[in-house]
Amino acid sequence: MKPHPFATYHPAVAFAYLACAIVLSMATLQPVFVVLSFAGAVGCSIVCRGARATGRSFIWIVPLWLVVTIANPLFSASGSTELFRIGVRAVYAESLLYGACSGAMLAAVFLWFSSYSSCMNSANTMALFGNVLPVVSLMVSQVMRLVPQFVARGRGIAAAQDATSAAAPQTKRQQAAGRFRIVSVLMGWGMEDGIERSDAMRARGYDCGARRSTYKRYRFNRADASVLGIIVVLAVIAGAWAAAVCLKFSFYPTLSGWGAWWAYVPYAVLMAVPPILQFKEWLLWR
């Protein structure tokens, strides 16, 4: 896993931050907030996944944004500033801006989620919820173990099948059956494994009647608590003020209800948390 700014903290910090960021980004469809959350999502993605991976996401983010932006005025002809007409349909600036905002919001949410998946792997997630659901935590761990094994095995079976050219499929139908065959080999093998693995599990006391406990890899200490506290407080204030602004704001017929500038400050600070944490780290190792 790439080192990310949350790596030095308990997974609860990363989870709380990203959850807040995702929820707020989805809830605030207002040009300024959208710009802020998009900028925050890009910043977070750069510090969590690297500039290169983020750049690569733009390959599909930009077309997505363009499509949503262009589609909105075509479907909703509201607004007051007419830009031009296609046939009988008028295209309004407000409607175009609404499209641009929803496109950017969608893009931001996508970026937040990619940061989430790079910061929270199964071990982290389980460290958070494992205590509540020990059985689920074990199941996830097992699935995470079995999936790569199945994939590797499937590849091995396909390789053996392809490399045995003396038994190559003669007809189209046999060719199609070939891929299906991999699945049936995998199934048989997997079931056989299951018997032995359940023996191995029972041999180590699985289902022996005791209440399962969970190995805790992370401890929640004071530094985690303070960062988490700051994030939660920021998110509550930002959320409340954003709600106040968004309720008054409207796109149609003209853009109105921008509110005071300071109402945007907590939100902007919240969005800047990952780069700030990264900067702190940078200062330390300068």
Nearer to another protein, 177 or 276 (CB): 177
Cα within 13 Å of Cα(6), Cβ side: 27
Q: How far is the CB of 280 from another protein (least distance, A)?
A: 24
Q: Does residue 51 belong to the site contacting another protein (CB under 8 A)?
A: no
The count of other CB atoms within 10 Å of the CB of residue 46 is: 19
Nearer to another protein, 189 or 252 (CB): 189
Q: How far is the CB of 198 from another protein (least distance, A)?
A: 10
Q: How far is the CB of 4 from another protein (least distance, A)?
A: 16
Name residues contacting another protein, limited to 109-168 (CB under 8 A).
Answer: 122-123, 134, 138, 141-142, 144-145, 148-149, 152-153, 156-157, 159-160, 162-168
Nearer to another protein, 71 or 201 (CB): 201
Nearest partner of 283 among 275, 237, 219, 191, judged by Cα: 275
Nearer to another protein, 81 or 125 (CB): 125
Nearest partner of 104 among 55, 42, 15, 45, judged by Cα: 42
Residue from 132, 203, 283, 284 binding another protein (CB under 8 A): 203
Q: Does residue 193 belong to the site contacting another protein (CB under 8 A)?
A: yes
Specify the stretch interacting with another protein by CB under 8 A; choose among 85-93, 100-108, 188-196, 238-246.
188-196
Specify the stretch interacting with another protein by CB under 8 A; choose among 22-30, 179-187, 236-244, 246-254.
179-187
Q: Does residue 87 belong to the site contacting another protein (CB under 8 A)?
A: no
Name residues contacting another protein, limited to 204-233 (CB under 8 A).
Answer: 204-217
Binding site for another protein (CB under 8 A): 122-123, 134, 138, 141-142, 144-145, 148-149, 152-153, 156-157, 159-160, 162-170, 174, 181, 184-185, 188-189, 192-193, 196-197, 199-217
